[in-house]
Chains A and B, each alone.
Chain A
């Protein structure tokens, strides 16, 4: 099993942290993992992305041109990564900030209004966790329970009052993704 995902958005949306959390969780699950960040000058106020690879074998390349999955948190990221996701792969789209529909029909596109969901949950900073939950629900590398448990370990103690909200965000993202999948699978008359 080898799984790779690119998480992309504006700097400040929690793109790098979401990827690190995923990598920590993979390591906790006894798997191999790499986390590779964009670290160019464009990071300051511009776009940020990271690639996470998870495998049960030693990992060669920490980067890929054709990821199995992508989370796109803003429009420039959708434009850049939609064409690159492998056929049959997963694309999680933050529709709160992206008003263009996914054009491809050979990938599993999941529309999640993540900023709105985060606001409903009471903290706009939870957007990344909502989207991560959606990804986990539709891929098989790790479960939301595994990632949630890892969050407890890696989140500094001073932020532990936010654990409940983060767990809720992961769960809500997963729930929305599962509901969307059920809708897609229902035959229309």
Chain B
């Protein structure tokens, strides 16, 4: 496949199709509606299922139903719409059905606005629904990663019978960038449903998909089973990127769009003689705890940059546990932290640490 100029929302929708998504359920909301539009055209073309539901509550329950039937399924939405899905996501965790959710985050709380934000971190990483549950959360920082993470999300969801979330934001959804789509996977054979799925019980014992365990002891045993699964995911599926950290005294920790904004700031500060690099969690859950702890023993200071008021910051502080100072810079409500602002924060930190740097932040960008 050749690299083409692709809009983020269209790119992840097409990637989902090529990864074998058989049923899409959604409801339009800016800034992710192009994904729904793409699905509305492509899914019927391919003889697959597309439903524009009457609300996000309906959409996530349709996903729940399709997933219980062993169908590769997904939904996508943006922050206020995703909030409406929390009950369904909790039920799906309690039923161990696999599905993919793409959240193209926007400014909040409430109806907020349609500009890019990262303020659904806590909701998606910690579980916005009730109960002790986890979902895999992938944080793409480019249109290419939006594609790759969507494909990965389906595979991880199937492998672990879990909900995988691709946590993007309005800027990734709306921007165009050179990227390569994967080849179309052949459709799954009709008799290839997972053994646990509600695929028709003719000639076999019945399956039951449910999240109800009225006996507390039984519910506790089920929770222990979930926790064992989550531990296996934490052992095998952590992903992160280290950028220019070998000799760094300052590490910026950022995910998604904030990380790529920080990369421009870091390039400028590097040119001015500041030993700064980037640590980018790619899986927000499972969180790259060990790698970040190791990093906190090597650097003199950490600066967390987010498009929220410090949601991942709490995880960084928990992991770093005062091994080094942790600063924070965030813009929120749909405002992006510009590279120039991030550079100024890095510079201030470098000066505080006594680094010899040129007078003014360089106007260098890559």
- Residues of chain A touching chain B, judged by Cβ–Cβ distance below 8 Å, are 2, 4, 20, 23-24, 27, 32-37, 39-41, 55, 57-66, 86
Give the contacting residue for B178; candidates A32, A40, A60, A65; CB below 8 A: A32
Are B366 and A59 in contact (CB-based, < 8 A)?
A: yes
- B227-266 with Cβ < 8 A to chain A: 260-266
| Bound CA span A62–B263, Å | 11
In whole angstroms, how far apart are the Cα atoms of A2 and B113 in the complex? 31
A60→B263 contact, CB < 8 A? yes
> Which residues of A lie under 8 Å from residue B92 when comparing CB positions?
none
Between A2, A4, A58, A60, the greatest number of chain B beta carbons within 10 A of the residue's beta carbon is seen for: A60
Write out the residue numbers on chain B whose beta carbons fall within 8 Å of the beta carbon of A62.
Answer: 171, 175, 177, 260
Whether B260 contacts A35 by the Cβ 8 Å rule is no
| Whole-angstrom distance between the Cβ of A4 and the nearest chain B Cβ | 7
CB distance from A70 to the nearest CB of B (A): 15
In the bound complex, residues from chain A placing their C-beta under 8 Å from that of B338 are 61, 63-65
Question: Does B260 contact A39, Cβ atoms closer than 8 Å?
Answer: no
In the assembly, what is the distance between CA of A32 and CA of B5, in Å? Answer: 10
Chain A residues within 8 Å of B263, by CB: 60-61
Closest chain B residue, CB of each to CB of A68: B365
Q: A23-B5, A39-B30, A60-B339 are in contact. Are A66 and B363 (CB under 8 A)?
A: yes
* CB contact between A60 and one of B3, B175, B365 (< 8 Å): that residue: B365
In the assembled complex, which residues on chain A have CB atoms less than 8 Å from the CB atom of B119?
A: none
Whether the pair B365, A33 counts as a contact (CB closer than 8 A) is: no
Residue numbers in A under 8 Å from B197 (CB-CB) = none
Which residues of B lie under 8 Å from residue A57 when comparing CB positions? 366
- Which B residues lie within 8 Å of A39 (CB)? 30-31, 114, 170, 174
Measured CB to CB, the closest approach of chain A to B144, in angstroms, equals 10
- A27-B365 contact in complex given A61-B264, A62-B260, C-beta closer than 8 Å: no
Chain A positions within 8 Å of B174 at CB level:
36-37, 39
Interfacial chain A residues near B5, Cβ < 8 Å: 20, 23-24, 27, 33, 35
> Which of B267, B338, B340, B366 has the most chain A CB atoms closer than 10 A to its own CB?
B366
Cα separation A86 to B365 with both chains bound (whole Å): 12
Write the nearest CB–CB distance from B265 to chain A, whole angstroms: 8
Name the residue on A nearest B338 (C-beta): A65
Contact of A61 among B176, B177, B260, B363 (CB under 8 A): B260
A35 and B175 form a contact (CB under 8 A) = yes
Bound-state CA distance A2–B268 (Å) is: 13
Q: Is B100 an interface residue (CB 8 A)?
A: no
